[in-house]
């Protein structure tokens, strides 16, 4: 009964490579998010999509490109990986109906760039 | 710049005590407030949400909101070692659909 799932859970790669992280939610939510949590545990929003439409795009290098093929999926592609991209990336989803805005997080993807 | 401030801790309490976690926010238009618990190496887990002034109780957890003071708190009664985690305060701002602003978290340790 996984609500928000991410793959892969761990990703170890070298500088300069391109990688993707996938996220899927089966909660029927309209909105999905990508967060980055650094080594100091600060959770910072990167992107948000509402029903496949980009609604939040924080100051993120354009090497990061989100894609939402449908409202249940939000993928994150990262080009030319750098050491500073090493972090845990969390996907989340939330309903917007009724102004709940409660966000539910996936298990995270720990990205290590060497 | 919308900010959410929390005491970083660590906060250390004995088993059975009340743990009090505090959070202040800068955006007066904020409408929705959340507490997340994050165990080491795990993802944030929503434990409480509160939308109106006053107290909201759920089991051993009580969330308190004071919009006039721009203050939200979480009380954990009868603290257990299993409550040891980082607690994140999150605030829904008055604008930008769905966007939450997170504090940096307070690390709580409950010792037996």
DSSP state of B18: P
Q: What one-character-per-residue DSSP string does chain A give? A: --SEEEE-SEEEE-TT--EEEEEEE-S--SEEEEEEE-TT--EEEEEEEETTEEEEE-S--TTEEEEEEETTEEEEEE-S--GGG-EEEEEEEE--GGG----EE---EEEEE-
Residue with tokens 């991209």: A85
Q: A97: exposed, middle or buried (C-beta count within 10 Å: 0-12, 13-18, 19+)?
A: exposed
Measured at the CA of B67, the angle between CA B64 and CA B73, to 5 degrees, comes to 25
Q: How confident is the model at residue B95 (pLDDT cuts 50, 70, 90)?
A: low
pLDDT at res. A54: 87
A68 and chain B: CB distance < 8 Å anywhere? Answer: no
CA distance A63 to A79: 5
pLDDT digits (tens, 9 = 90+) for B15-69: 999 999 999 999 888 889 999 999 999 999 999 999 999 999 999 999 999 999 9
Average pLDDT for runs of 10 along chain A of length 114 = 90 97 94 91 89 84 93 96 96 76 93 97
User: How many angstroms away from the CA of B88 is the closest CA of chain A?
Assistant: 9
B96 has a pLDDT exceeding 70: no
Q: Is there a contact between A42 and B90 if contact means CB atoms under 8 Å apart?
A: no
- Which residues, including other chains, have CB under 8 Å from residue A100's CB and lie 6 or more apart? A94, B32, B49
Q: Residue A101: which of B36, B100, B102 has the nearest Cβ?
A: B100
pLDDT at res. B94: 66
B8 has a pLDDT exceeding 80: no
pLDDT at res. B93: 75
pLDDT digits (tens, 9 = 90+) for B56-87: 999 999 999 999 999 999 999 999 999 999 99
pLDDT at res. B84: 97
Rounded to the nearest 10°, the torsion over CA B18, B104, B1, A61 is -160
Question: Could you tell me where the beta strands, DSSP code E, fall in chain B?
Answer: 4-6, 11-14, 19-25, 32-38, 45-50, 54-58, 61-66, 71-76, 85-92, 100-102, 106-111
């Amino acid at each position: 009964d996984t609500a928000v799932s991410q793959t892969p859970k761990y990703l170890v790669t070298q500088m300069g490579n391109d990688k993707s992280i996938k996220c899927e939610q089966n909660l029927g939510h309209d909105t999905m998010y990508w967060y980055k949590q650094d080594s100091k545990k600060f959770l910072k929003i990167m992107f948000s999509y509402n029903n496949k439409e980009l609604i939040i795009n924080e100051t993120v290098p354009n090497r990061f490109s989100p894609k939402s093929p449908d409202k249940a999926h939000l993928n994150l592609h990262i080009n030319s990986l750098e050491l500073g991209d090493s972090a845990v990336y969390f996907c989340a989803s939330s309903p917007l109906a009724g102004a709940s805005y409660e966000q539910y997080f996936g298990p995270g993807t720990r990205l290590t760039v060497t | 710049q919308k900010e959410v401030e929390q005491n970083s801790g660590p906060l250390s309490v004995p088993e059975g005590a009340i743990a009090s976690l505090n959070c202040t926010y800068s955006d007066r238009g904020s409408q929705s407030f959340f507490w997340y618990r994050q165990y080491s190496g795990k993802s944030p887990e929503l434990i409480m949400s509160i939308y109106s002034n006053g107290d909201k109780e759920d089991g051993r957890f009580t969330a308190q909101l004071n919009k006039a003071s721009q203050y939200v708190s979480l009380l954990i009664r009868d603290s257990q070692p299993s409550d040891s985690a980082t607690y994140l305060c999150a605030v829904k701002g008055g604008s930008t659909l769905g966007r939450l602003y997170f504090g940096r978290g307070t690390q709580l340790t409950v010792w037996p």
